[in-house]
Amino acid sequence: MNKKKIAILGSTGSIGVSALKVAAAFSSYFEITALSAKGSNVELLNEQIKIFKPGIVAVHDKDALIRLRSMNRTKGVKFFSGFEGQLKLIRECEADILLVALVGGSGLIPTLEAIKCGKNIALANKETLVVAGELVMREAKKKGVKIIPVDSEHSAIFQCLNGEDPAKVRKLILTASGGPFMKHTKQELESITPEQALKHPRWDMGKKVTIDSASLLNKGFEIIEAHHFFGISLDNIEVVIHPQCAVHSMVEFVDGSIMAQLGIADMRLPIQFAFFYPERQGNNIPRLNLARIRTLEFFKPDLNKFPALCYALEAAKAGGILPAVLSGSSEAAVNAFLTGKIKFTAMASFIKKALAAHKNIKAPNLAQLLSAERSAKEFVEKEI
């Protein structure tokens, strides 16, 4: 049997590590042909190279690459460095699926490069579609490139839509855990520390997405992501808080039927689904025990307590460059919160300010989107 060739961008991050667990569990099905990483965890990358023997490795940080090369003796590996190195990897690697598991705004250009090369993509980076959803989906369509969602909510919707007529969808219902602070009062949110915010009750994820989940901004990103992925209008996408995280999202059809996808909260599941798509494969991942959960709750998000979700929706509805401003400003705000420069609740305020400070541009091109994202980041850094 020919193995499916897989390339992973962002292999030492949370999704990258989970993806390699899937690849290791199905080593007779998958072959890892390329890995890229920022270079912040050279030891882990070194281990990954030894185990998976990719033909190409790209490291963003040049010094990290020098350290990596001094410790890694694996034969037949081509090393690239810098931002350009990652693009070179995308062009040169053989891949039936390229997993984009990069953090924040760094996912967009590599995704566009993969599309240009005609490589099918498993997309775990939501900012790519937040910043340039229309452009990315249009280019993918032009090139006949498949984009399979890896975000758990979008994987759920993708599975619910399988075999259905898209014209018969009435709405998408995204579920949210609500994050660790659902029961906090507005005042209590003021004194949240980064350590508290980094402890997500259900999902084990990277830092950026964990903080965005705690502020519910992540759900705003996911609405925008779903809008582009599935071509559903923003008005027909609803968010419900569902603390048990058993239902990963739902689709309501014109006849009132609702389809839901359930499972344990483990990123290996959507990753495995994307890697095997269109097939399904058995695994040894623990099962959801409904009798043990007993109760599934659903309720409306409190937008007064978590205004970031509102701002995300406003930016999405305005369109143009504002979703890029949203993404850029949130990246700077999350960094500032994590380094103790601003309060948890100030993140949303800075995002709001950045959105108000940017004049919108209709139907922006890529350069305008990237410039808006950068300018929003700088705006927040300066304000802080």
Nearer to Mg ion, 93 or 251 (CB): 251
CB of 41 to Mg ion, least distance (A): 23
Cβ distance to Mg ion smaller for residue 58 or 216: 216
Tokens of 45: 């990358």
Nearest by Cα to 285 from 298, 271, 300, 301: 271
Query: Which residues make Cβ contacts (< 8 Å) with residue 337, sequence separation at least 6?
Result: 194, 197, 211, 343, 344, 346, 347
The stretch among 17-25, 142-150, 151-159, 325-333 that binds Mg ion (CB under 5 A) is 151-159
Q: Which is nearer to Mg ion, 174 or 354 (CB)?
A: 174
| Minimum distance of Mg ion from residue 224's CB (angstroms) | 12
Provide, rounded to whole angstroms, the least separation between the CB of residue 326 and Mg ion: 17
The answer to whether residue 266 forms part of the interface with Mg ion (CB under 5 A) is no
H or E element at residue 147: strand 147-149
Of 151 and 331, nearer to Mg ion (C-beta) is 151
Number of residues that bind Mg ion (CB under 5 A): 3
Span from 23-31, 50-58, 98-106, 150-158 in contact with Mg ion (CB under 5 A):
150-158
**DSSP at 170:** E
Q: Which stretch binds Mg ion (CB under 5 A): 82-90, 101-109, 152-160, 272-280?
A: 152-160
- CA nearest to 169, candidates 177, 178, 160: 160
| Token representation of residue 34 | 């390329």
Contact 169, 227 (CB under 8 A): no
Residue nearest to Mg ion (CB): 151
Residue 151 engages Mg ion in binding (rule: CB under 5 A): yes
Asked whether the CA dihedral 274, 279, 284, 290 is positive or negative, the reply is: positive
Nearest distance, CB of residue 382 and Mg ion, angstroms: 31
Residue with tokens 């103790």: 340
Other residues' Cβ atoms within 10 Å of the Cβ of residue 22: 25
Positions touching Mg ion (CB under 5 A) are 151-153
